Amino acid sequence: MLILDEGQVRRHLTYEALIPALEQALIRFSEGTIVQPVRSLLEIPENHGRFALMPVVDGDLLGVKLVAVFEENTTLPTHQAVIQLFSASTGEPLAVVDGRLITEMRTAAVTAIAARLFTPPRALKLAILGSGVQARSHLTALRLVREMSEVRVWSRTPENALAFARATGSTALPLEEAIRGADIVVGVANVSEPLILGRYLSEGAFVAAVAAVGVNRRELDDEAMQAIVVVESREAALRESGDIIGSDAAIYAEVGEILAGRIAPPPEGKRVVYKGLGIAAEDLAAARIVYEAESREQEAGNREQGVGNRR
């Protein structure tokens, strides 16, 4: 059984490989080919943490992601995870893959897929609300699918916004100024109450809200949710999204349904909200890339060394 750390994940996983793999995974999920339940969640209130179990089967691979979220971590990343891979035909354990970077990258990659679907192919104004790990990964992924004429950043800690702006060539702005007139608004700040307000949004804005998971957590107000709402999984959204449950917003489609052509894309010029929660199918698709690449490397190394050859 392989044990793959974050360094190996970083070496093998690129957005160029991940984005098309996730597009196909989202299609298979919406078609019912990938089977997964909604995640199971254990609250750890004494340490302000949550622990989730996310099993999934896709073809020849069975996987389960174990993810811990401790939002008050100051010396460690707030999200820690491992993904265990098994053979779907025999149950044999195949690999344990570090899941922190996979979680970071697959979240941003799905936002990039949605942005390519729901924004026009021209230079766009991007507002990022938050300045941490997800802010950086989203900027990287979005720049692969759309040209940005302007990048704005807001953070509740102004010093962090300024540091992000210096590092990325963006502009740090107050919240309202960051959102107003933006073509794409990405919510990646740790919030429980609405941060993205409808009165700030342009009519045709694309909003990617991926920061608030849980029935009691919101990142968009009811006015912002007066939009065409797309999700990864209807079942998960109706059980896990406070934004959808609290606003009683209708779900237009799953991303995979639009990718497959089963549901038409929304009309151009209409506000679209992509409410991202993260599903196990995405983690398995990313872990598969890493596992298969590492397996090929090790097999090539064994052949070079003559391992298994008769003497």
pLDDT tens column, 165-186: 999 999 999 999 999 999 999 9
Whether 210 is covered by a domain: the verdict is yes
Q: What is the domain-level CATH number for residue 266?
A: 3.40.50.720
Residues 219 and 265 in one domain: yes
Residues 74 and 205 in one domain: no
Q: What is the pLDDT of residue 299?
A: 87
Residues 249 and 133 in one domain: yes
Residues 257 and 123 in one domain: yes
Whether 110 is covered by a domain: the verdict is no
Backbone angles phi, psi at 163, to 5 degrees: -65, -40
* pLDDT at residue 84 is higher than 50: yes
For 234, the enclosing helix (H) or strand (E) is helix 234-240
- For the chain, what is the mean pLDDT? 95
* pLDDT at residue 156 is higher than 50: yes
Question: What average pLDDT does range 56-67 have in this prediction?
Answer: 98
Which residues lie below 8 Å from residue 254, measured CB to CB, with a gap of 6+? 26, 29, 30, 230, 231, 232, 233, 234
Whether 311 is covered by a domain: the verdict is no
Question: What average pLDDT does range 221-232 have in this prediction?
Answer: 98
Whether 172 is covered by a domain: the verdict is yes
Q: What span, in angstroms and rounded, lies between the C-alpha atoms of 282 and 54?
A: 11
Which residues lie below 8 Å from residue 125, measured CB to CB, with a gap of 6+? 148, 149, 150, 152, 181, 182, 183, 184
Whether 309 is covered by a domain: the verdict is no
Residues 215 and 300 in one domain: no
Residues 127 and 36 in one domain: no
Residues 33 and 56 in one domain: yes
Percent share of the chain, pLDDT over 90: 90
Q: What is the pLDDT of residue 310?
A: 41
Task: Kindly report, residue by residue over 94-134, the tens digit of the pLDDT.
Answer: 999 999 999 999 999 999 999 999 999 999 999 999 999 99
Whether 235 is covered by a domain: the verdict is yes
β strands within the chain, DSSP E: 2-4, 40-44, 49-58, 61-70, 79-87, 93-98, 124-129, 148-154, 171-172, 184-187, 206-209, 228-231, 251-254, 272-275
Question: pTM of the full predicted structure?
Answer: 0.94
Q: Decide if 84 contacts 301 (C-beta within 8 A).
A: no
Q: What is the domain-level CATH number for residue 76?
A: 3.30.1780.10
* pLDDT at residue 162 is higher than 80: yes
And the tokens for 86? 């098994």
* pLDDT at residue 225 is higher than 70: yes
What DSSP designation does 71 have? T
Whether 208 is covered by a domain: the verdict is yes
Q: What is the pLDDT of residue 307?
A: 61
Q: Decide if 282 contacts 106 (C-beta within 8 A).
A: yes
Q: What span, in angstroms and rounded, lies between the C-alpha atoms of 175 and 158?
A: 11
Q: What span, in angstroms and rounded, lies between the C-alpha atoms of 95 and 83?
A: 8
Residues 14 and 38 in one domain: yes
Q: What is the pLDDT of residue 302?
A: 82
Residues 65 and 21 in one domain: yes
Question: What average pLDDT does range 151-177 have in this prediction?
Answer: 97
Residues 135 and 188 in one domain: yes
Task: Kindly report, residue by residue over 262-307, the tens digit of the pLDDT.
Answer: 999 999 999 999 999 999 999 999 999 999 999 999 888 888 887 6
Q: What span, in angstroms and rounded, lies between the C-alpha atoms of 131 and 190?
A: 10
Residues 200 and 289 in one domain: no
Q: What is the pLDDT of residue 308?
A: 53
Residues 59 and 196 in one domain: no
Whether 91 is covered by a domain: the verdict is yes
Q: What span, in angstroms and rounded, lies between the C-alpha atoms of 74 and 53?
A: 24
The residue range of the domain holding 143 is: 115-278
Q: How many domains does the chain fold into?
A: 2
For residue 190, which of 132, 265, 264, 229 has the smallest C-alpha distance? 132
Type of residue found at 238: L
